[in-house]
Amino acid sequence: MPDSKKELSPSKVLLFGTIIKNPILVQVIGLCPAVAASSSLTVALLLSFVTTVLLIICEVFASAVLKPLSSWFRVAVYMIMGLLFICPLMYILDEAGFAVVNNAGIYLPLMAANSVVALRCEKFAVKRNAFLSFYDALATGVGVSAVLILSGFVRELLGSGTVAGRAVFDFAPLPALTMPFGGFVVLGFSAAILKWFISAFLSEYSHDMPFKIKKAQKRRPQRVEEKAARPVLTAEKAVTPAAIKAEASDTAKAVIPDIPKGRESFADVLYNSMSADMFTAEDSFDDILAGISAESGGADNPPVTREDFSVSTDGNGDAPREEAERVIIPVDLDLVEEQEISRAIASGDEGGSAD
Amino acid sequence: MAVKTVIKPDRQERSFYFDMLAILVLPAVMAWYYYGGAALRLVAICMLTGTLSETAGAFFMRCPRCLRDCNSLFIGAATALMLPADFPPLAAAAGVAFAVLAVKMPFGGTDFSPFTPVAAGYSFMCLCWPDKIFSYPVLDTGTGYVKGSSLANMLSVNTSIRPNTINVFDILTGSVPGAAGVTCIIVLLGSAVCLAFVRRRALINSAGFVAACAVMALLFPRVYSENARLVSLLMELCSGLLMFSAVFIVTDPATSPERPLHRFIYGAFAGAVCMLLRYFGKFEEGVFFAVLMANAAWPPLQERLLRREKKRALRKKVKQRARASSARGREAAENA
């Protein structure tokens, strides 16, 4: 969502919920129906309808009624509301003889426990009024629906050669796309296209995406002639914003880009590509800063400001941000580990089976 | 704390994939010998598709295009040689395009991909057209192709192979139904020897892979004969894509570890998974899935191995220091 609660407007809520923070392609939540179930257009349409209606009901109800309750109880209420909506719907569709209920399989009843609904209610609806919650639910529903319908259309067309059950090709061009594997491939490319779209046409919002995509690292780093000395912040050093700033300003430009990093696992690359604020998207940087400032105080603890976290300022708004992404605080784990082992040996805890 | 690193300059200027492509000429010749121009046509189509896909991917995804390293050509040639000679060219092209456009380019190119593109492309084709990819033509049937039963298929049926079912000489020379360029074991062994001359380190992966497969074949034979274990060893190693993968797929430098021991473990892990997939999998061949699983599982495994090795070295160092200090203390006490 936008950086500050004051800036929230219905249009921004719509834009953010639909595109900038698309639940499936950007926040990577609610993948189960998108990957496993939306292998045909009709199922995707049904799931989209259910998700959107459920989101609107739950978010508006949560915003209007559930604010005083504790969070663990609210999550149970969302599930009960989902069941209250989906059970009659399934019954009606089943009685009417729609085969799409069978095609959706277990994923239609599972929508009662949809993670998108619970997350949006907890992250947004219980903190805002019912009006904005309605807009957010609508935007999130449209975002989810767009992805589900696109995925269902592409997968059905290429996987089965049909669109909504009507034959388009005489053969199935790529039958594997109807499998969950095909869902992941389609979603991956859709996410890449969305990222390109935001960078190209909505560049002013590209920094508001919940995570930054880092440049991939070479699996086998090239051997270079000389590696620069790598400064290390040891455990003894006090880690203050000023120290981080000093360390970063010295090393960010000159040293860190030149050091070929060791081989990272794919999971590491994926994890590193997501910043922590992906999971606390609603807490803006200023909110966090305000919280830290409230805790600090007195001569020993001066209030922390935004400038304490900036690396360098050259007048350009983008440059410090890009630089800050490259800042790494290496900690000498070997030294710490060696000290721990030394202490253990000195205290006699080290067993004889070390080797 | 400065990090001192001893760095050896790269002596090999030539691309790894250029060498592999040169070695692939041997299986390609055998494919032409057994299946005629159809096999070579498939190879040419796949190589062309690989090159075009890389060019298109570099244009649309803004990745660096590097045709000089011959990686896309290698992907095309290796994929084509793993297919039956009568495999539809369009489907083969789709598999190569998937390998380049969905597995190689989005991650940044040859050195960045976490998965082996050839294995991914073959898996894609396997999931899309399982009936065609495991339908091998019989040799010497005159005009047209007749479906034959491959060694891997016979092994998967469990009770098909009996004494004297197949001549060993036929197996070694590749006179059995199978993919175009993978059946002739003698040629594949020759390729391994060539690889040993140009890229010796890469063969460590192959050694681990073949060793694990051999152990599994000996322990759990799927044939019924007098010398079941030995026959099982021969059949398992010579069937399917196993030997071809050991030489050309498992040795992929982009996904291989650096250290020799790690390379061996990586290969052994892939081999063990491959045999498990053969025993319990849906398809008669599981090498490509095994390689992909090894690609996915290896980085965290390597991290643990490295951490463990580091801890051992540290403990050793600390113990040596403690011993030295205690010896000095004893000497001082004796002197006193």
pLDDT tens figures, A256-277: 444 344 444 444 544 455 444 4
Q: What is the pLDDT of residues B136-157, one digit of tens each?
A: 887 665 444 556 677 887 888 7
More confident residue, A314 or A50: A50
- What is residue A162's DSSP assignment? E
On whether the CB atoms of residues A159 and A175 are closer than 8 A, the answer is yes
Q: What is the pLDDT of residues A1-17, one digit of tens each?
A: 444 445 677 788 888 88
Instruction: Provide the number of CB pairs (under 8 Å) joining chain A to chain B.
Output: 96
B13 pLDDT higher than 60: yes
Find the residue in A nearest to B304 (Cα): A265
Tokens (6 digits) for A68: 């005083």
From B10, B316, B318, residue closest to A342, measured CB to CB: B318
Tell me, what's the pLDDT at A233? 43
> Where in the sequence is the domain holding B41, given as residue range(s)?
16-317
Residues A81 and A197 in one domain: yes
Residues A165 and A261 in one domain: no
Q: Does A265 touch chain B (CB under 8 A)?
A: yes
Q: Does residue B263 lie in a domain region?
A: yes
Which phi and psi angles does B138 have, rounded to 5°? -80, 145
Chain B positions touching A229 (Cβ under 8 A) are 2-3
C-alpha–C-alpha distance, residues B299 and B310, integer Å: 16
Tell me, what's the pLDDT at A123? 87
Chain B positions touching A350 (Cβ under 8 A) are 315, 319
Chain A positions touching B127 (Cβ under 8 A) are 175-176, 179, 181
Could you tell me what percent of chain A has a pLDDT over 70? Answer: 57
Tell me, what's the pLDDT at A212? 58
Residues A195 and A215 in one domain: no
Longest CA–CA separation in chain B, Å: 99
A252 pLDDT higher than 50: no
State mean pLDDT over A139-166: 91
Residues A278 and A335 in one domain: yes
CATH number at residue B117: 1.10.3430
Find the residue in B nearest to A174 (Cα): B128
Find the residue in B nearest to A355 (Cα): B312
Chain A positions touching B8 (Cβ under 8 A) are 223
Tell me, what's the pLDDT at B144? 47
Tokens (6 digits) for B285: 């061949």
Tell me, what's the pLDDT at A222? 44
State mean pLDDT over B223-231: 79
**Residues ≥6 apart with Cβ < 8 Å to B15:** B68, B69, B70, B71
Q: Does residue B272 lie in a domain region?
A: yes
C-alpha–C-alpha distance, residues B180 and B28, integer Å: 8
Residues A195 and A318 in one domain: no
Tell me, what's the pLDDT at A337? 65
- Across chain B, mean pLDDT equals 85
* Contact state of B94 with A192 under an 8 Å Cβ cutoff: no
Rounded to the nearest angstrom, the minimum Cα separation between B157 and chain A is: 25
* Alpha carbons within 13 A on the beta-carbon side of A166: 2
State mean pLDDT over B48-61: 88
Residues A27 and A50 in one domain: yes
* Contact state of A227 with B102 under an 8 Å Cβ cutoff: no
From A216, A265, A341, residue closest to B314, measured CB to CB: A341
* Contact state of A230 with B2 under an 8 Å Cβ cutoff: yes
From B9, B112, B302, residue closest to A216, measured CB to CB: B112
**Residues ≥6 apart with Cβ < 8 Å to B169:** B175
More confident residue, B89 or B139: B89
Chain B residues at the A interface, defined by Cβ less than 8 Å, are 1-3, 5, 7-10, 61, 94, 102, 106-108, 111-114, 124, 127-129, 253-255, 258, 296, 299-300, 302-303, 310-312, 314-319, 322
- Across chain A, mean pLDDT equals 71
* Contact state of B128 with A218 under an 8 Å Cβ cutoff: no
Confidence bin at A149 (pLDDT 50/70/90): very high
Residues 277-316 of A with CB under 8 A from B: none
Count of the separate structural domains present in chain B: 1
Q: What is the pLDDT of residues B94-136, one digit of tens each?
A: 999 999 999 988 887 888 888 999 999 999 999 999 888 888 8
Tell me, what's the pLDDT at A332? 53
Q: Degrees (nearest 5) of the Cα angle B256, B258, B264?
A: 65
Q: Does residue B245 lie in a domain region?
A: yes
Tell me, what's the pLDDT at B74? 93
Confidence bin at B221 (pLDDT 50/70/90): confident
Count of the separate structural domains present in chain A: 2
Inter-helix orientation angle B37-61/B25-35, to 10°: 130
A199 pLDDT higher than 90: no
On whether the CB atoms of residues A183 and A151 are closer than 8 A, the answer is yes
Find the residue in A nearest to B295 (Cα): A266
Q: Does residue B3 lie in a domain region?
A: no
Confidence bin at A32 (pLDDT 50/70/90): confident
Chain A positions touching B112 (Cβ under 8 A) are 216-219
Q: What is the pLDDT of residues A68-113, one digit of tens each?
A: 888 888 889 988 998 998 888 888 888 877 777 777 778 888 888 8
Residues A185 and A131 in one domain: yes
More confident residue, A315 or B299: B299
Given the DSSP bridges, would you call strands A162-163 and B147-148 parallel, antiparallel or unpaired?
unpaired
State mean pLDDT over A35-40: 83
Tell me, what's the pLDDT at A257? 40
Residues A115 and A133 in one domain: yes
Find the residue in B nearest to A354 (Cα): B315
From residue B17, alpha-carbon distances to A252, B67, B77, B111, B201 in Å are 35, 11, 11, 12, 14
Inter-helix orientation angle A115-123/A130-160, to 10°: 150
Confidence bin at A295 (pLDDT 50/70/90): low
Residues A172 and A74 in one domain: yes
* Contact state of B315 with A225 under an 8 Å Cβ cutoff: no
Q: What is the pLDDT of residues A213-249, one digit of tens each?
A: 555 555 554 444 334 444 444 444 444 555 555 555 5
> Where in the sequence is the domain holding A134, given as residue range(s)?
5-208
Q: Does residue B7 lie in a domain region?
A: no
Residues A33 and A165 in one domain: yes
ipTM comes to 0.78
Q: Does residue B39 lie in a domain region?
A: yes
Let me know if B75 is exposed, middle or buried by CB neighbors in 10 A (0-12, 13-18, 19+).
buried
Chain B positions touching A234 (Cβ under 8 A) are 1
Chain A positions touching B296 (Cβ under 8 A) are 266
Q: Does residue B4 lie in a domain region?
A: no
C-alpha–C-alpha distance, residues A270 and A305, integer Å: 30
C-alpha–C-alpha distance, residues B231 and B50, integer Å: 39
Residues A192 and A296 in one domain: no
Tell me, what's the pLDDT at B163? 58
Find the residue in B nearest to A342 (Cα): B318
Q: Does A106 touch chain B (CB under 8 A)?
A: no
* Contact state of B319 with A354 under an 8 Å Cβ cutoff: yes
3-state secondary structure A60-73: HHHHHCCCCCCHHH
Tell me, what's the pLDDT at A338? 65
**Residues ≥6 apart with Cβ < 8 Å to A207:** A321
Find the residue in A nearest to B128 (Cα): A176
State mean pLDDT over A143-148: 93
Residues A203 and A273 in one domain: no
* Contact state of A175 with B129 under an 8 Å Cβ cutoff: yes
Q: Does residue B236 lie in a domain region?
A: yes
On whether the CB atoms of residues A323 and A311 are closer than 8 A, the answer is yes
More confident residue, B212 or A282: B212
Cα–chain center distance at A293: 27
Rounded to the nearest angstrom, the minimum Cα separation between A15 and chain B is: 26
Q: Testing the interface with B: which of A186, A199, A220, A236 to mutate, by most B Cβ within 10 A?
A: A220
Q: Testing the interface with A: which of B305, B319, B321, B326 to mutate, by most A Cβ within 10 A?
A: B319
Domain end, chosen from A177, A208, A239, is at A208
Tell me, what's the pLDDT at B229? 85
On whether the CB atoms of residues B293 and B273 are closer than 8 A, the answer is yes
Domain end, chosen from A174, A208, A242, is at A208
**End-to-end alpha carbon distance in chain B:** 39
Chain A positions touching B108 (Cβ under 8 A) are 215-216, 218
Chain B positions touching A217 (Cβ under 8 A) are 112
Q: What is the pLDDT of residues B254-292, one digit of tens each?
A: 889 888 999 999 999 999 999 999 999 888 888 999 999
